[in-house]
């Protein structure tokens, strides 16, 4: 009997202890989670704050606070945001299609085929990927100029997908894990490499394709440095550059545009968040299957 109660007490003690530990963890998670969400809440709050319209406020909730959709109306009427949005969608769709295709092709060649130049090429591409991209930006600009392509969205698509092959690594890692026996079976059935690529490997590579599509679709929404160099015409801006220019004309001083910027950022952020959350499962799969072994 004595022994039984002591065991019970011990178990009870353990429960209490783990309850306390869990309690602490809940508190930490809650505090940090709020910290992580707060800037986003601030973004939304500013986007819907019609007055005061500057970024400078002297109270967290100012006395003349007025919420509404005014900033969104201004964004669409007073800035070229709709054009920028259209531009970005166009560039993102085209460059994402090309990039994904390129990455799949390069990864398949490096993962499934064996040829003399394979290792040297892989190493050269690894080294190439290590040069900081904008070191060569001015040269890219002049090459595009020589081709008569500056100030065009087509140039952006070319630049974004031109370097795509360099990020083959994650996708190749994924292809490496696919079993070879499937291919061998297909070869016995008389398939050539073309058929294997389209009919065997691509259908199996769904997670990594979604991952690649997602990352390459998102990158034009976020890049403003290349756009900044290549494009001077405000009607050809993408959202990133447009919004950047909106508030960065006068650095670190708030302007009327700040709330409008937040409205634009909310739209862009909302779009990407929706996309991201719907694809989260594949994204995680892609990251953990290819990047890490």
Partner 1 sequence: MDITTNETRPQAAAGRAREGLIVRAGRKVKEFFLGIAHGSLATKLSCLFMGSGQMMRGQYIKGALYLLIEVLFVLYMVFFGGRYLGFLFSGDLGTRLGTETWDEVTQSFVYTQGDNSFLILLYGVVSIIVLCLFITVWCMNVSGNIRNDKICNIAGIAPPQSYTDALGRIVPGVASASLSENSICVQGGRIKLTLAGDVGGVLEIGGERHAVEEIEAGVTRFGALLVTAVETTEEGTMYELYRDENVFSREYLQYPVYLYTKDGALAAAAFLRECGRVSTFREDCKQYVNKKFYVPLLVVPLIGLLVFTVMPLIFMILIAFTNYDYEHTPPGALFDWVGFANFAKIFSIGGGGSNFLLVFLRVLAWTFIWAIFATFTNYFFGMILALMINKKGIKLKMLWRTMFVIAIAVPQFVTLLLMQKILDADGILNVILGLTGDNKILWLGDSSNWAIIPRVTIIVVNMWIGIPYTILMCSGILMNIPPEMYEAARLDGANPFQIFRNIVLPYMLHVTAPYLITQFVGNINNFNVIWLLSGGGPVDNINYGGGSKAQATDLLVTWLYRLTTDVNPQYNLASVIGIIIFVISAALSLITFNRSKANKNEEDYQ
Identify residues 185-224 at the interface with partner 1 (CB under 8 A). 192-194, 197, 218, 221-222, 224
Task: Note whether 133 and 163 are within 8 A (CB).
Answer: yes
Using the minimum distance from each CB to partner 1, give the nearer residue, 165 or 208: 165
* Contacting residue, 91, 94, 153, 164, with partner 1 by CB under 8 A: 164
* Contacting residue, 71, 242, 261, 263, with partner 1 by CB under 8 A: 261
How big is the site for partner 1, counted in residues (CB under 8 A)? Answer: 102
Question: Is 50 a residue that touches partner 1 (CB under 8 A)?
Answer: no
**Max CA separation in the chain (angstroms):** 92
Q: Are strands 66-67 and 49-51 parallel, antiparallel or unpaired?
A: antiparallel
Question: Is 44 a residue that touches partner 1 (CB under 8 A)?
Answer: no
Using the minimum distance from each CB to partner 1, give the nearer residue, 1 or 292: 292
Question: Is 231 a residue that touches partner 1 (CB under 8 A)?
Answer: no
Q: Which segment (5-13, 64-72, 170-178, 200-208) binds partner 1 by CB under 8 A?
A: 170-178
Question: Is 237 a residue that touches partner 1 (CB under 8 A)?
Answer: no
**Shortest Å distance, C-beta 1 to partner 1:** 26
**Shortest Å distance, C-beta 260 to partner 1:** 13
Burial per residue of 26-59, b for 16 or more beta-carbon CB atoms within 10 angstroms, e otherwise: eeeeeeeeeeeeeeeeebbbbbbbeeebebeeee
Residue 292 CA to its chain's centroid (Å)? 19
Q: Name residues contacting partner 1, limited to 86-125 (CB under 8 A).
A: 102, 105-106, 108-109, 111, 113, 115, 118, 121, 123, 125
* Contacting residue, 16, 51, 276, 281, with partner 1 by CB under 8 A: 276
Binding pattern for the stretch 20-39 against partner 1, x by CB under 8 A and - elsewhere: -xx--xx-xx--xx-xxx-x
Question: Is 11 a residue that touches partner 1 (CB under 8 A)?
Answer: no
The DSSP line for 87-129 is: HHHHHHHHHHHHHHHHHHHHHHHHHH---TTHHHHHHHHHHHT
* Contacting residue, 13, 142, 154, 199, with partner 1 by CB under 8 A: 142
Using the minimum distance from each CB to partner 1, give the nearer residue, 51 or 177: 177
Question: Is 12 a residue that touches partner 1 (CB under 8 A)?
Answer: no
- Which phi and psi (to 5°) does residue 67 adopt? -100, 155
Question: Is 149 a residue that touches partner 1 (CB under 8 A)?
Answer: no
Question: Is 278 a residue that touches partner 1 (CB under 8 A)?
Answer: no
- Strand-pairing partners, residue 67, are 49
Binding pattern for the stretch 54-93 against partner 1, x by CB under 8 A and - elsewhere: -xxxxxx---------------------------------
């Amino acid at each position: 009997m004595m022994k039984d109660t002591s065991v019970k007490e011990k178990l009870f003690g353990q429960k209490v202890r783990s309850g306390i530990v869990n309690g602490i963890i809940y508190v930490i998670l809650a505090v940090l989670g709020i910290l992580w969400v707060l800037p986003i809440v601030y973004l939304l709050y500013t986007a819907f704050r019609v007055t005061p319209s500057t970024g400078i406020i002297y109270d967290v909730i100012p006395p003349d606070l007025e919420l509404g959709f005014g900033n969104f109306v201004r964004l669409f009427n007073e800035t070229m945001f709709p054009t920028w949005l259209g531009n970005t969608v166009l560039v993102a769709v085209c460059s994402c299609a090309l990039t994904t295709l390129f990455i799949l092709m390069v990864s398949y060649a490096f993962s499934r085929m064996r040829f003399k130049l394979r290792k040297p090429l892989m190493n050269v591409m690894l080294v190439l990927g290590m040069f900081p991209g904008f070191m060569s930006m001015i040269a890219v600009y002049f090459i595009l100029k020589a081709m008569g392509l500056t100030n065009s969205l087509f140039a952006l698509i070319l630049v974004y997908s031109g370097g795509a092959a360099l990020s083959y690594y994650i996708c190749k890692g994924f292809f490496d894990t696919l079993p070879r026996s499937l291919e061998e079976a297909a070869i016995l059935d008389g398939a050539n490499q073309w058929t294997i690529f389209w009919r065997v490997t691509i259908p199996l590579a769904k997670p990594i394709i979604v991952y690649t599509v997602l990352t390459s679709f998102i990158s034009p929404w976020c890049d403003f440095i290349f756009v900044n160099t290549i494009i001077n015409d405000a009607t050809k801006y993408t959202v990133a550059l447009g919004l950047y220019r909106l508030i960065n004309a006068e650095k670190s001083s708030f302007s009327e545009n700040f709330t409008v910027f937040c409205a634009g950022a909310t739209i862009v952020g909302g779009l990407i968040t929706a996309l991201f959350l719907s694809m989260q499962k594949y994204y995680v799969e892609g990251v953990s299957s290819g990047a890490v072994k």
